[in-house]
Structure 1
């Protein structure tokens, strides 16, 4: 194992490098694990998206009123609008993301090693580079899925059109805007998700090492290994810290991107006009619409994802 792997173990972690994974098992088991996590957390994305597109005269403008409204009109299925579209596109997007993340992380650790940075800083830089690169690669698949799913999430809400499923959305987008209609907000998606991914992975990588040092691990490379429960608690705490940091920094861009993506052909606006509208309605806090659900989503998703991800890597490691 390379030096980055050795360092990871000295901090009580169980990081497993890309070359130590059974790739076929990693992708197959990973698809199942992350589908399960998506099922559990998808309703939060629906609520967050509706809050971000609410107009000034919309009655349901807080989290609980949105949930009540969805349950009243559509029941539990309403919380899963667009889910089929998301899960269809999420699997290839996730494969691209994880492959790019793991391969880039190894290269990034080697790249920053000569700079002799502190452990948390080195982890933040390497993980941040890997997270941003992985997000850039996966956006080409994810953005069209995002456009279709978000239109389904908000259909019939706050004056938005209704559709007969994902294929109906795709046909109408193609008819009104052509292929580029599937990439509305692509620039903002890249500007939102790539920095968000970079911040998330950088925060996760550095916070873990800080926590391990606080717990007394890492000062003695040959010290007793922590229990699996401790490892999972540290990873979960790192996921919460990463989610809080990333959601606060990137929510304004996410709100603008969401509004651009769900607008109909006749209501097309620029990013500047969207910002002006949000500020006119609610002042600068309008840019943070849906911050609560987004923070919860990113923290819950991040914590669940990282625990599933680390478990997946342990499960798929090649025995030597």
Structure 2
């Protein structure tokens, strides 16, 4: 039909603002829907001192948290994500589309290097904005967290630990998310071409390609995510060694000493479970909002 929107047929240079707004809406949708699973992942990655905070799997964590703390606990910290995800994803997708256009990735042919560069550039920019919100989110997610308000958490963490607390994990975050994003965007773009070579409107293609790309990228980067969680929640730990962790090298050492190789796979299942559907939803939302805003 003449009035039907064909996402892939829309011009790639529709504007930086369009891509930013589409990315913001997609980011909020993605994170809000999958937040309970992300809360479980954080709990499983933390080196807890109390047996009550040690979980054997996603189902075990969900059942115990729901029965002892209430189902609403799984949503604690979601406001931090909503506040940060919109602007961060706006910057992320806006930068991605801008660099992709500048690098010539929108031309005919295989441009995986340009796509990887665009993805990595997008991550560096968005993580600088999102990192403090992620720290607050995880401080609110941990077992027996004292925080119920984003602003109270931000104020207390800043007062007790200084500005450094919000960025101590930033190098680790970049070490994780640059390859994560490069892998994710590359796999997504290649699968999209493979599954839908005609470029016709196909939300199923966006969901499948986005989900698989997210799952692959999440699995590959889980060890770095474990280190990031340790750094971001160090101020809430009763363990003196963890509280004095200075950076990624210290975090890796602690993980290896305490849990060996399996320690780097902490939270793997809920992380993949989070990123497969959330990335599928994110890409579907992004492509939809981008097309709708352009129209």
TM-score band w.r.t. shorter chain: 0.7 to 0.9
SS at match of 2:33: helix
Query: CA-to-partner distance for each residue in 1:183-229, whole Å, 9 max, x for gaps?
Result: 121100111112211110011111222334xxxx45xxxxxx75x4x
Within the candidate set 117, 120, 135, 2:123 is matched to: 135
Given that residues 18 and 103 in structure 1 are in contact (C-alpha distance below 8 angstroms), is that contact kept between their aligned partners in structure 2? no
Give the Cα–Cα distance (whole angstroms) in 1 for the partners of residues 101 and 11 of structure 2: 7
Within the candidate set 65, 69, 75, 1:74 is matched to: 69
Structure 1 residue 27, shift from structure 2 partner: 5.3
Give yes or no for the alignment of 1:195 onto 2:179: yes
Within the candidate set 202, 223, 232, 1:252 is matched to: 223
Cα separation, partners in 2 of 1:88 and 1:247, compared to 1, 3 Å:
same
Structure 1 residue 29, shift from structure 2 partner: 6.4
List alignment gaps of at least 5 residues for structure 2: 1-5
What does residue 181 of structure 1 align with?
165
Given that residues 26 and 283 in structure 2 are in contact (C-alpha distance below 8 angstroms), is that contact kept between their aligned partners in structure 1? no
Structure 1 residue 253, shift from structure 2 partner: 0.5
What does residue 263 of structure 1 align with?
234
Within the candidate set 56, 61, 64, 2:59 is matched to: 64
Given that residues 260 and 268 in structure 1 are in contact (C-alpha distance below 8 angstroms), is that contact kept between their aligned partners in structure 2? no
Given that residues 22 and 316 in structure 1 are in contact (C-alpha distance below 8 angstroms), is that contact kept between their aligned partners in structure 2? no
- 1:146-165 to 2 correspondences below 5 Å: 146-156=134-144, 161-165=145-149
Give the Cα–Cα distance (whole angstroms) in 2 for the partners of residues 34 and 291 of structure 1: 22
List alignment gaps of at least 5 residues for structure 1: 1-11, 219-224
Cα separation, partners in 2 of 1:22 and 1:186, compared to 1, 3 Å:
closer
What does residue 297 of structure 1 align with?
274
Query: CA-to-partner distance for each residue in 1:2-50, whole Å, 9 max, x for gaps?
Result: xxxxxxxxxx9715445325936x6556645543333211111111111
- 1:19-98 to 2 correspondences below 5 Å: 19-21=13-15, 23=17, 31-55=24-48, 57=51, 58-98=53-93
Give the Cα–Cα distance (whole angstroms) in 2 for the partners of residues 59 and 137 of structure 1: 35
Give the Cα–Cα distance (whole angstroms) in 2 for the partners of residues 245 and 252 of structure 1: 13
Query: CA-to-partner distance for each residue in 1:42-91, whole Å, 9 max, x for gaps?
Result: 11111111111143754423211211122123322111111111111212
Structural RMSD (CA) = 2.6
Given that residues 240 and 300 in structure 1 are in contact (C-alpha distance below 8 angstroms), is that contact kept between their aligned partners in structure 2? yes
Give yes or no for the alignment of 1:242 onto 2:213: yes
Give the Cα–Cα distance (whole angstroms) in 1 for the partners of residues 99 and 35 of structure 2: 28
Structure 1 residue 234, shift from structure 2 partner: 2.0
Give the Cα–Cα distance (whole angstroms) in 2 for the partners of residues 76 and 312 of structure 1: 31
- 1:206-285 to 2 correspondences below 5 Å: 206-212=190-196, 217=197, 226=200, 228=201, 231-264=202-235, 267-270=243-246, 271-285=248-262
Aligned length: 282
Residue range with higher mean Cα deviation, 233-242 or 283-292: 233-242
Larger C-alpha radius of gyration, 1 or 2? 1
Give the Cα–Cα distance (whole angstroms) in 1 for the partners of residues 232 and 23 of structure 2: 29
Give the Cα–Cα distance (whole angstroms) in 2 for the partners of residues 128 and 15 of structure 1: 22
Within the candidate set 8, 27, 43, 1:14 is matched to: 8
TM-score (ref. length: structure 2):
0.85
Given that residues 126 and 202 in structure 1 are in contact (C-alpha distance below 8 angstroms), is that contact kept between their aligned partners in structure 2? no
Give the Cα–Cα distance (whole angstroms) in 2 for the partners of residues 92 and 38 of structure 1: 13
Residue range with higher mean Cα deviation, 286-295 or 271-280: 271-280
